[in-house]
Amino acid sequence: MTSKFKLFTGLLKGNKLKYSVAFTAVMLADVFALVSPLVIRFTMDTVIGGMPADLPSWFLGIIKNIGGTEALSSKIWILTIVLVILAALNGMAAFIKSKYLARASESISLNIRNSLYEKLHRLPYNYYIKAQTGDLVQRCSSDVETVRRFMGVQLIEVGHVLFLAIIIISITMTLNTTLSLVSMALFPVIMLFSFIFFVKVRKLFKESDEAEGSLSAVLQENITGVRVVRAFARQGFEYEKFSEKNNTFRNLSYKLNTVFAFFWSMSDLLCTLQLSVVSILGIYMAAVGHISLGTFFVFAAYESMLIWPIRQLGRIFADMGKMTVSLERIHEVLSEPVEEMTDSGLKPEIKGNIEFKNVSFGYENSGKVLDDVTFSVKEGQTVAILGPTGSGKSTLILLLQRLYDYQEGSIKIDGAELKDIDKKWLRQKIGLILQDPFLFSKTIKENIALSKPNASDKEIFRVAKIVSIHNAIKGFEKGYNTEIGERGVTLSGGEKQRVVIARSIIRDCPVLIFDDSLSAVDTGTDAEIRRALQEKTKRVTTFIISHRITTLSQADLILVLENGKITQSGNHQELVAQKGMYQRIWELQTSMR
Amino acid sequence: MSIFEEEEYSRHLDFGLWKKVLKFTLPHRKFLIILIAEMIIMAAADVIFPLFTKYAVDRFIIPKTTEGMIPFAIAFVLLGIFQGINVYIFIRAAGKIETFVCADIRSSAFKRLQELSLSYYDKTPAGWIIARLTSDVQRLGEIIAWGSVNLVWATAVMTAIIGVMFVMNWKLALVTLSVIPPLAVISVYFQRKILKAYRQVRKTNSKITGAFSEGLMGATTTKTLAREEQNISEFKELTGNMYKFSNKAALISAVYVPIVLVLGSIGIGIALWSGGSKVIAGTITYGTLVAFINYAIWFFEPVKDVTRLFAEMQYAQASGERVLSLVDTKPDVTDSDKIVSAYGDFFKPRKKNWPDIKGRVTFENVTFEYSNGEKVLKNFNLDVRPGENIALVGETGAGKTTIVNLACRFYEPTAGRILIDGVDYKERSQGWLQSALGYVLQTPHLFSGTVMENIRYGNLDASDEEVINSAKAVSAHEFILKLENGYETEVGENGNRLSTGQKQLVSFARAVIGSPAIFVLDEATSSIDTETEQAIQNAIKTVLDNRTSFVIAHRLSTIRNAHRILVLHDGEVVEAGTHEELINKKGMYFDLYTNQYLVEQTRRIIDSN
Provide the CA A273 distance to its chain's centre, in angstroms. 45
- The answer on pLDDT for B2 being more than 80 is no
Question: How confident is the model at residue B528, as a pLDDT?
Answer: 65
Measured CA to CA in angstroms, residue A502 lies from A136, A381, A445, B212, B374 at distances of 31, 20, 10, 25, 31
Round to whole Å and give the CA distance between B558 and A30: 81
Q: Which residues in chain A (444-503) have CB-CB distances under 8 A to chain B? A: 450-451, 453, 486-488, 492, 503
CB contact (8 A) between residue B61 and residue A283:
yes
Residues A479 and A496: their CA atoms lie apart, in Å, by 15
Q: Is the pLDDT of residue B173 over 50?
A: yes
Q: Which residues pair with A386 in a beta bridge?
A: A560
Cα gap B478→A103, rounded to integer Å: 62
Given pLDDT bands bounded at 50, 70 and 90, which one contains residue B204?
very high
Percentage above 90 pLDDT, chain A: 49
**Average pLDDT of the residues in A526-547:** 81
Burial of B237 (0-12, 13-18, 19+ CB in 10 A): exposed
Record: contact A269-B447, CB cut-off 8 A: no
Q: Which residues of A touch B293 (CB under 8 A)?
A: 40, 297
Q: What pLDDT does residue B9 have?
A: 60
Q: Residue B252 and residue B190: Cα distance in Å, rounded?
A: 7
Question: Cβ(A544)–Cβ(B591) under 8 Å?
Answer: no
User: How many Å apart are CA A199 and CA A209, to the nearest integer?
Assistant: 16
Q: Which residue in A283, A434, A504 is closest to B220 by CB distance?
A: A434
Per the CB < 8 A criterion, the answer to whether A183 and A300 are in contact is: no
Q: Is the predicted pLDDT of residue B169 greater than 60, yes or no? A: yes
Which amino acid makes up residue A51?
M
Alpha carbon B593 to chain centroid, angstroms:
44
How high is the pLDDT of residue A187? 92
Burial of B381 (0-12, 13-18, 19+ CB in 10 A): exposed
Angstrom distance (rounded) from CA A352 to CA A184: 81
Q: For residue range B288-331, list pLDDT tens digits in order.
A: 998 998 898 888 889 888 888 888 888 888 889 989 999 999 99
Measure the CA–CA gap between A514 and B306, rounded to whole angstroms.
Answer: 63
| Amino acid of residue B509 | A
> B559 near B582, Cβ under 8 Å?
no
pLDDT interval class at A2 (50, 70, 90): low
Please report residues of B whose CB lies closer than 8 A to that of A232: 434-435, 437, 439, 457-458, 510, 514
Residue B35 has pLDDT above 80, yes or no: yes
DSSP-derived pairing of the beta strands B564-569 and B572-577 = antiparallel
| Residues in B 458-497 with any Cβ partner in A closer than 8 A | 458, 460, 493-494
Each domain of chain B, given as residue ranges in start order, spans: 2-327, 352-578
CA B17 to chain A, closest CA, distance in angstroms equals 24
Q: How many residues does chain B have?
A: 609
Q: Among all residues of chain B, which has the CA nearest to that of A135? A: B213
How many C-beta neighbours within 10 Å does residue B453 have? 17
pLDDT at residue B536 in the model? 85
B78, burial (CB in 10 Å: exposed 0-12, middle 13-18, buried 19+):
exposed
Domain B352-578 has CATH 3.40.50.300: yes
Q: For residues A565 and A368, what is the distance between their CA atoms, to the nearest angstrom?
A: 10
Q: What is the pLDDT of residue A592?
A: 60
The pLDDT tens digits for A399-446 are: 999 999 998 999 999 999 998 898 888 998 999 988 778 888 889 999
- A111 pLDDT exceeds 60? yes
Q: Which chain B residue is nearest to residue A267, measuring alpha carbons?
A: B84
Q: Long-range contacts for B365-372 (Cβ within 8 Å, ≥24 apart)? A: B365/B415, B365/B416, B365/B417, B366/B406, B366/B413, B366/B415, B366/B416, B366/B417, B366/B418, B367/B413, B367/B414, B367/B415, B367/B416, B368/B402, B368/B406, B368/B411, B368/B413, B368/B414, B369/B414
**Cross-chain Cβ contact B293/A217 below 8 Å:** no
Q: Which of A35, A73, A83, A499 to mutate to test the interface with B (most CBs of B within 10 A)?
A: A83
Give the whole-angstrom CA distance, residue B212 versus residue A112.
13
Provide the mean pLDDT of chain A: 88
Q: Are A324 and A6 in contact (CB under 8 A)?
A: no
Give the residue-averaged pLDDT of A292-321.
Answer: 90
Structure confidence at residue A344 (pLDDT): 66
Q: Touching check for B257 and chain A: CB below 8 Å?
A: yes
> In this model, does residue B249 exceed pLDDT 90?
yes
DSSP label at B25? G
The enclosing H or E element of B567 equals strand B564-569
Pick from A116-125, A479-488, B57-66: least confident: A479-488
| pLDDT, tens only, B114-148 | 999 888 888 788 888 988 998 899 999 999 999 99
Close Cβ partners of B380 (under 8 Å, ≥ 6 residues apart): B363, B365, B366, B367, B368, B403, B416, B571, B572, B573
B91–A273 CB contact, under 8 Å = no
Q: Is the dihedral of CA A421, A427, A433, A438 positive or negative?
A: positive
What does the alpha-carbon distance between residue B66 and residue A491 come to, in Å, rounded to a whole number?
Answer: 85
pTM score, whole prediction: 0.84
Contacts of A253 in chain B (CB under 8 A): 95, 98-99, 102
CB of A71 within 8 Å of any CB in chain B? no
pLDDT at B526: 64
Give me the pLDDT at residue B8, please: 59
Q: Are A551 and A544 spatial neighbours (Cβ–Cβ below 8 Å)?
A: yes
Secondary structure E strands in A294-407? 354-362, 368-377, 382-386
The single-letter code of the amino acid at B80 is G
Does the structure show a pLDDT above 60 at B237?
yes
Identify the CA nearest to B130 among candidates A228, A213, A134, A229: A213
**Mutation for testing the B interface, residue in A21, A74, A95, A432 having most B CBs under 10 Å:** A95
Closest CA to A39 of A63, A71, A15, A13: A63
A141 contacts chain B (CB < 8 A): yes
pLDDT of residue A554: 85
Query: What is the arithmetic mean of pLDDT over B421-442?
Result: 90
Strands A408-413 and A354-362: antiparallel
Condensed to tens digits (0 to 9), the pLDDT of residues A479-494 reads: 899 888 766 677 777 7
CATH topology of domain B2-327: ABC transporter transmembrane region fold (1.20.1560)
Helix count and strand count (H, E) for chain A: 24, 10
Check if the beta carbon of residue B180 is closer than 8 Å to that of residue B270: no
A42-56, A269-283, A442-456, B150-164: range with lowest mean pLDDT: A42-56
The superfamily (CATH) of domain A2-176+291-334 is ABC transporter type 1, transmembrane domain (1.20.1560.10)
CA pair distance A8, B24, nearest whole angstrom: 47
**In which band, very low, low, confident or very high, does the pLDDT at B1 lie, cut at 50, 70 and 90?**
very low
Half-sphere exposure of A238 (CA within 13 A, CB side): 31
Task: Please determine, for residue A523, whether its predicted confidence score (pLDDT) is greater than 80.
Answer: no
Residue A140 pLDDT more than 60? yes
State how far residue A57 is from chain B, nearest Cα, in angstroms.
25
- Identify the pLDDT of residue A133: 81
Q: Which residues of B touch A488 (CB under 8 A)?
A: 1
- For chain A, the C-alpha Rg in angstroms (whole number) is 37
Q: What is the pLDDT of residue B609?
A: 54
Number of residues that this document lists for chain A = 593
Contacts of A179 (CB under 8 A, 6+ apart): A172, A278, A281, A282, A285, A291, A299
Amino acid at site A220: Q
Judged by DSSP in three states, A164 sits in helix
Q: Do domains B2-327 and B352-578 have the same CATH topology?
A: no
Which residue, among B79, B146, B220, B596, would best test binding to A if mutated, counting the most A CBs under 10 Å from its CB?
B220
- Amino acid B213: pLDDT: 87
Residues from chain B that touch A548, judged by Cβ atoms under 8 A, are 602
* Residues B439, B548: Cα–Cα separation, whole Å: 12
Q: Is the pLDDT assigned to residue B215 strictly greater than 60?
A: yes
Kind plus residue range of the DSSP H or E element containing A18: helix A16-42
Please determine, for residue B3, whether its predicted confidence score (pLDDT) is greater than 60. no
Residue A185, Cβ neighbours under 10 Å: how many? 12
Residue from A385, A490, A296, A523 nearest B591 by CA: A523
pLDDT band of residue B511 (cuts 50, 70, 90) is: very high
**Structural class in CATH, domain A354-591:** alpha beta
CB contact under 8 A, B254 and A99: yes
Domain-wise residue ranges, chain A: 2-176+291-334, 354-591
pLDDT of B542:
86
> What's the pLDDT at A495?
84
Residues of A in contact with B64 (CB under 8 A): 287-289
Q: What percent of chain B has pLDDT over 90?
A: 50
Beta bridge partners of A431: A512
Better-predicted residue by pLDDT, A365 or B161: B161
When the pLDDT of each residue in chain B is averaged and rounded to a whole number, the result is: 89
pLDDT (mean) for A451-476? 88
